[in-house]
Structure 1
Amino acid sequence: MRSLKYILSGCLLVLGATSCKKWLDVNTDPNNPNNETVLVQNRLPWIQKFYCYTAGVTNFRTAAQSGLYYSNSTVGNALSTTWKFHTGNTTPYQTWFVEVASNLNDLYNTAQKKGAFHYMATANVFHALGFMQMLDVYGEMPYTQALTDLASPAYDDGKTIYYGCMAKLNDAIDLFGKTQDATAPALASGDMWNGGDVNKWIKLCWGLKARYMLKLSKKSDLYNADSILYCLSKGPQSIADNVVQQGFNNSTVTDYLLGDPVVTNGNFDYAAYGSNQRISKYHYDLLTNMRGSGVTDPRMSKIVPATMSGIQLDASNKVASFTWRRSEGVDVLGTATRLVKGGATSIVIPAYATANTNIKYTIANATDRANFIADQVGAGRTHTVNGNDVTVTYKAGSIFINNPNYLYSGDTIYVNLRSSSLATSGIAAQGEKDVSWYPSAAAFAAGAVASTGSFQVRPVSDQEILTYHEMCFIKAEVYMRKGDVGNAWTAYRDGIQAHLDMMQAKLTSWQAAGFAATNPDMAPMNSGDMSAYLTSGAVATAGNLTMSDIMLQKYIAMGCSIEIWNDMRRFNFSAGNVGSFGVVYPGYDRGPLFTGDANYTGSGKTDPRYWQRRWALPTTLEQNYNLTNVLAMNPNATEPNIWSMPVWWDCATDGEYYGYLSK
């Protein structure tokens, strides 16, 4: 895979409020760059950034699988709605090897020559982060030979990859504990994540070990609750220990591989760059009716986007008045009435009316026509009826669906997650402090916002690598498995509080920076609402806490993260057959538009192969160019139902796992 190597010297990166010149001096001789002259302090920030890029696409696509998002894109919809896949997900694999993994040996070896032990340690951390992610999604892949000169490396099984990654974390902890040589570059000179704070890096390593050890919860011979608790005791202890990659909106530089913005949050690049993604009803209901309480979570208005509605323009065609309308969730898993009628990918992007616009709808069904007319009356829209034809006038300033199919006319209730960046808005006048989405330059000029975006997936959002709230929820789960409900409840409450505090800190910083001036969803939450939520029926008491309570709060807090899908696999989604915990994710199931019979061949919920368990290997990479090694490891790798085959840690025993790897 050495042919995938890309030297970072040709790129430009603008990374924040400082001049960031240190990030740009990639080579000692910029006119004659070569791999040997790249400084370790200049290689590390690129590795950090591009890891977030590959993690971003993985986070988004697994979040779609987990029911957080609906997507009407080809790949996203297959994961969120139809579950029908024919090919693999190439992008995470490609970006991992091209942009990150290909630089890890060079970072390690160059740092070793300089006695820069802390940079050596970071190479090990990224090795673990990336290859564990590859194991999570693809199962088997090149590992021991992956970063060698071999063009067609052999494959390793999931167990080998897992223990290899854990060994790298142990080595990293040892290396971070060493004192660097006096002439070695300080970690602070190249570290965008932790500013050179070695203690935070060490806590990151221990936290990752806890995360990865939790994956073994199905394996009675390997799962060790006390070992996980020990790792947690050495991991993050407060939100001050959170490890994130900060996103920016101060550059138009794009990635050389896929052309996406470089400085923005990696989750944004996939979940909110375009207009395809929306909040699911499953996600929405947890934010508005957790535990059947009817309580609206104070985080809801920061996670679920809003659009302007009922816009009135003044004489200069500027927005004079309006109301904010919060998005409804797309019902992918339930009855999905709108999608069943219109098609799995049919939700339409809104437009902006620069002048009064008439649209004629032909509606043959009398009931549908009557309901449609009632909707227009309720919305106060001018309309006329002529037989089966209903003509509606959308006033200037309206955000509406410019399509004559009446089924689509109400799609403005599904506000997309889209945010804007300098590199993507297409509106030259839109400044860096305004990341709302406008459907056109005319809408921007009027001040008509079509989406306020979502907390985790704005260009300026932090991309969460490891957080204190995740550690709390892991602790809660581990104690619950031990039967210690008291300590489980304390950790559960701590996790909710930690996530509220983390969000509030970021929202406060956005307000101080000026983002909330145009986007109220970027302003802080009401502190009274936060306190009231913690004592409401949405939050379990110590006497009625269930594993589902823990995992559903973790679901909200982790959001756009692969760890949600990892958790759901560990609990077999809504099968209810793990331990005595019952159904942990109630309501999650195949939806009415499911067409993935060839991919998911299980006969029922308790059959592992009923669910989305992994991704197929990239067809254009491994299956076309390394097929012999692919099939030598897993002769079923090219079968359609590979999507439902559990990965190593998702199996209770090695016998079960290796049984899947036999023809």
Structure 2
Amino acid sequence: MKNFKYIILGAVLVLGSASCKKWLAVNADPDNPNNQSVQVQNRLPWIEHFYQYTAGVTNYRTSCQSGVYYTNSGNPNTFSTTWQCTNANSTTSYQTWFVEVSSNLVDMYNSAKKIGAYHYMAAADVFHALGYMEMLDLYGEMPYTQAGTGNPSPKPDDGKTIFNGCMAKLNEAISLLAKTQETGAPSLASGDLWSGGDLGKWTKMCWGLKARYMLKLSKKTDLYNADSILYCLSQGPQSNADNIVGPGFNNSTVTDYLYGDPVVTNGNFDYAAYGSSARISQYYYNLLTNMRGAGVIDPRMSKIVPAYMTGIQLDGSGKVASYTWTRSIGVDSYGPSARLVKGGATSIVTPVYAAANKNIKYTINDATDLANFIADQAAAGRPYTVNGNTVTVTYKAGSIYINSTNYVYAGDTVYVNLRSSAIATSGIPAQGQNDVNWYPSVDAFNAGAIASTGSFQVRPVSDQEILTYHEMNFIKAEVYMRKGDVANAYTAYTAAIQAHMDMMQAKLTSWAGTYGLTNPDMTPMNSGDVSAYISSTAVAPAGSLTMSDIMLQKYLAMGCSIENWNDMRRFNFSAGNVGSFGVVYPGYQRGPLFTGTAQLTGAGPTDVRYWMRRWALPPTYEINYNSVNTLALNPHATDPNIWSMPVWWDCATDDEYYGYLKK
């Protein structure tokens, strides 16, 4: 009960004092609280919030797999860099889903059914589909039909069963949303944080999710149905006004009872930008700066790729008087990866702030490295002295620098981390709600020295994108391309790019008068730059559109999303062996720090087992405690190379899929 009171307190803080009485009245009988008497309108917003949490960790870790992010954190680095996948990545998505979301769905559905609150029954169905489809995407097989029944050792179901069950839930949700609720049933608006109870948007979300899920079947000639997907799209979101997003806030220090993270922030922030480990990859950076080899800087780049202050000069009171914004570069782990090869897979170092002049001595035995290092100091205008192979550099007060005597690390300030600050996490009490920049220390904050402006999707106040109009248009473009209708594919492709630009611009405009006062990356893009980009060769001209053009623009727009990894699996990553589409994700490949030979056992890119295609099941919950049931369905669940076994929708036939499940 202690934890449950804690959750409701957080809800009050989110929704404001005007709603306090409504949200405090959690149980029908407050003197005898129990799980069955929780009001459905009080349960739904916490299902929405905690779904964002489980989706956030999933989005972040799969974005490391798909090449959007690099991280120097050990476990997810096995996704972003070495591909030596570790089971330590497996638990959080599973735990947050089953403990914080799934455990509430049956109760909310049954409670809503008793009072004729059909729209809450529909909401339970939608979250059932969202969560269990995510579990299928990640793990392949999972307790499903026996999940949430109270059985401590539920039998898992295969991927086909889970997929069909999720689709059935969406169909029921559409029917329930069309019904008039019984008299006295609470309106959906009284508990819906995502869309204020807009039944039309919920219905469109259901159709959009059906389109997304049906697209997963693109390898299955017996099940893939282009016209059915197009019909679902015609019933789904028709403009950015139909987008479903989870709002993020920075107005509370209340933290989650399970993991201790802020309860009001964007779920992506809680993993990608809460700490200092994540950075933009070179692969993603190249798409923002050189899409289609056009050499055109995407206007979204400066809103997605973080910047930091360089050349800082302090005034007499120790405040920043002048500086230059310097944009991050990407961390290369797929190409030559020169920096990581020298220092190690996780060796990128987080900078600190110099409150006073700081001298660091570097010993550099390699003559070429020594000459290059000296040239770098001269170019940066830093004072330095040379004594043989020892270089002493002075980092002036106000500098953001790397506090290490290893010269290999000294230039790591160019890899700006994604970190953003919330009042619950910054550790700087004076940093207010409207300043979400990252300052490395209290001294840096007091001076006004910003070490990261953050990234569009992963700030605490960012919207968490659940289902968007631009995604629907990208799906439409792909489906038409598969049909050979290039003209309609092109129309959808350009509409998708414009929709994403418009969505970003609207959010940036809403931020400008508050967060934008201290953070230029939270102000609108130049409208002329947007128009110029749309008409540039970075966007494929009519008549030259390829599937790679569609999917790379989708990849860029989706960013921190599991859907990029899902799409890459459908196209076999960069193998180039799906249909006549060629290599859809050029440049995505194992890098020189690859060590995942035990996990990814395929002989080459066209071998299915060459790529990361699922996650291992959580070792404690489904292996240690439920191994008999788990291994009965998939005897390979504990094999080191389970990571390369395709899930059901990633197989062309049922025979292929069930063949993997044999001993």
- TM-score of the aligned structures, taking structure 2 as reference length: 0.98
Displacement after TM superposition at 1:86 (Å) = 3.6
Which residue of structure 1 aligns with residue 412 of structure 2? Answer: 411
Question: SS state of the match for residue 374, structure 1?
Answer: helix
Residue pairs, 1:410-429, within 5 angstroms: 410-429=411-430
CA distance in 2, matches of 1:294, 1:586: 17
The letter for the 1-side match of 2:200 is: N
Which residue of structure 1 aligns with residue 174 of structure 2? Answer: 173
Conserved 8 A contact 1:86-1:640: no
Displacement after TM superposition at 1:365 (Å) = 1.1
Q: In structure 2, do the counterparts of structure 1 residues 435 and 548 end up closer, same or farther at CA, with 3 Å as the change threshold?
A: same
Q: Give CA-to-partner distance per residue, 1:345-367, whole Å, 9 cap, x none.
A: 01111000001100000111111
Which residue of structure 2 aligns with residue 152 of structure 1? Answer: 153
Q: Does 1:291 align with 2:261?
A: no
Which residue of structure 2 aligns with residue 562 of structure 1? Answer: 562
CA distance in 1, matches of 2:35, 2:54: 22
- TM-score of the aligned structures, taking structure 1 as reference length: 0.98
Q: In structure 2, do the counterparts of structure 1 residues 240 and 17 end up closer, same or farther at CA, with 3 Å as the change threshold?
A: farther
CA distance in 2, matches of 1:560, 1:73: 17
Which residue of structure 2 aligns with residue 470 of structure 1? Answer: 471
Displacement after TM superposition at 1:226 (Å) = 0.0
The letter for the 2-side match of 1:108 is: Y
Q: In structure 2, do the counterparts of structure 1 residues 190 and 116 end up closer, same or farther at CA, with 3 Å as the change threshold?
A: same
Which residue of structure 2 aligns with residue 548 of structure 1? Answer: 548
The letter for the 2-side match of 1:288 is: T
Displacement after TM superposition at 1:15 (Å) = 1.6
The letter for the 2-side match of 1:170 is: N
CA distance in 2, matches of 1:300, 1:354: 31
The letter for the 1-side match of 2:398 is: G
Q: In structure 2, do the counterparts of structure 1 residues 264 and 24 end up closer, same or farther at CA, with 3 Å as the change threshold?
A: farther
Residue pairs, 1:219-298, within 5 angstroms: 219-298=220-299
Which residue of structure 1 aligns with residue 522 of structure 2? Answer: 522
Residue pairs, 1:30-429, within 5 angstroms: 30=30, 32-88=32-88, 89-429=90-430
CA distance in 1, matches of 2:567, 2:286: 19
CA distance in 1, matches of 2:310, 2:19: 41
CA distance in 2, matches of 1:281, 1:472: 26
Displacement after TM superposition at 1:85 (Å) = 2.4
Q: Give CA-to-partner distance per residue, 1:479-518, whole Å, 9 cap, x none.
A: 0000000000000000000000000000011113x11000
Conserved 8 A contact 1:381-1:394: yes
Question: SS state of the match for residue 659, structure 2?
Answer: helix
Displacement after TM superposition at 1:20 (Å) = 3.8
Q: In structure 2, do the counterparts of structure 1 residues 649 and 6 end up closer, same or farther at CA, with 3 Å as the change threshold?
A: farther
The letter for the 2-side match of 1:526 is: N
CA distance in 2, matches of 1:194, 1:24: 22
Question: SS state of the match for residue 629, structure 1?
Answer: helix
Conserved 8 A contact 2:362-2:392: yes
The letter for the 2-side match of 1:636 is: H
Conserved 8 A contact 2:75-2:86: no
Displacement after TM superposition at 1:387 (Å) = 1.4
Question: SS state of the match for residue 123, structure 2?
Answer: helix
The letter for the 2-side match of 1:309 is: T
CA distance in 1, matches of 2:257, 2:573: 38
Conserved 8 A contact 1:280-1:331: yes
Q: In structure 2, do the counterparts of structure 1 residues 32 and 447 end up closer, same or farther at CA, with 3 Å as the change threshold?
A: farther
Which residue of structure 1 aligns with residue 646 of structure 2? Answer: 646
The letter for the 1-side match of 2:132 is: F
The letter for the 1-side match of 2:505 is: Q
CA distance in 2, matches of 1:29, 1:436: 44
CA distance in 1, matches of 2:418, 2:163: 34
Q: In structure 2, do the counterparts of structure 1 residues 16 and 297 end up closer, same or farther at CA, with 3 Å as the change threshold?
A: farther
Which residue of structure 1 aligns with residue 445 of structure 2? Answer: 444
Q: Give CA-to-partner distance per residue, 1:543-596, whole Å, 9 cap, x none.
A: 100000000000011110000000000000000000000000000001110000
Conserved 8 A contact 2:477-2:493: yes
CA distance in 1, matches of 2:118, 2:6: 26
Conserved 8 A contact 1:7-1:35: no
Q: In structure 2, do the counterparts of structure 1 residues 627 and 6 end up closer, same or farther at CA, with 3 Å as the change threshold?
A: farther
Q: In structure 2, do the counterparts of structure 1 residues 546 and 50 end up closer, same or farther at CA, with 3 Å as the change threshold?
A: same
Which residue of structure 1 aligns with residue 455 of structure 2? Answer: 454
CA distance in 2, matches of 1:33, 1:502: 43
Q: In structure 2, do the counterparts of structure 1 residues 383 and 218 end up closer, same or farther at CA, with 3 Å as the change threshold?
A: same
CA distance in 2, matches of 1:646, 1:165: 19
Q: In structure 2, do the counterparts of structure 1 residues 24 and 606 end up closer, same or farther at CA, with 3 Å as the change threshold?
A: farther
Which residue of structure 2 aligns with residue 632 of structure 1? Answer: 632
CA distance in 1, matches of 2:19, 2:418: 30
Q: Give CA-to-partner distance per residue, 1:156-186, whole Å, 9 cap, x none.
A: 0000000000000000000001000111001
- Gaps of at least 5 residues in structure 1 are none
Q: Does 1:15 align with 2:14?
A: yes
Residue pairs, 1:554-593, within 5 angstroms: 554-593=554-593
Q: Give CA-to-partner distance per residue, 1:259-317, whole Å, 9 cap, x none.
A: 01100000000000000000000000000000000000000000000000000000000
The letter for the 2-side match of 1:15 is: V
The letter for the 1-side match of 2:14 is: L
Conserved 8 A contact 1:16-1:248: no
CA distance in 2, matches of 1:505, 1:523: 10
CA distance in 1, matches of 2:156, 2:511: 46
CA distance in 1, matches of 2:377, 2:18: 54
CA distance in 2, matches of 1:6, 1:319: 46
Which residue of structure 2 aligns with residue 601 of structure 1? Answer: 601
Q: Give CA-to-partner distance per residue, 1:235-263, whole Å, 9 cap, x none.
A: 00000000000000000000000101100
Conserved 8 A contact 2:78-2:86: no
Displacement after TM superposition at 1:24 (Å) = 4.1
The letter for the 2-side match of 1:527 is: S
Q: Give CA-to-partner distance per residue, 1:338-389, whole Å, 9 cap, x none.
A: 0000000011110000011000001111111111111111111110111121
Question: SS state of the match for residue 14, structure 2?
Answer: coil
Q: In structure 2, do the counterparts of structure 1 residues 343 and 31 end up closer, same or farther at CA, with 3 Å as the change threshold?
A: farther
Q: Compute the RMSD of aligned alpha carbons.
A: 1.1
The letter for the 2-side match of 1:418 is: R
Conserved 8 A contact 1:132-1:165: yes
CA distance in 1, matches of 2:487, 2:627: 52
Displacement after TM superposition at 1:16 (Å) = 4.8
The letter for the 1-side match of 2:501 is: L
Q: How many residues align?
A: 658
Q: Give CA-to-partner distance per residue, 1:96-119, whole Å, 9 cap, x none.
A: 000000000000000000100000
The letter for the 2-side match of 1:441 is: V
Which residue of structure 1 aligns with residue 621 of structure 2? Answer: 621
Residue pairs, 1:508-519, within 5 angstroms: 508-512=509-513, 514-519=514-519
- Gaps of at least 5 residues in structure 2 are none
CA distance in 2, matches of 1:622, 1:158: 16
Conserved 8 A contact 1:16-1:250: no
Question: SS state of the match for residue 655, structure 2?
Answer: helix
CA distance in 2, matches of 1:316, 1:19: 43
Q: In structure 2, do the counterparts of structure 1 residues 221 and 555 end up closer, same or farther at CA, with 3 Å as the change threshold?
A: same
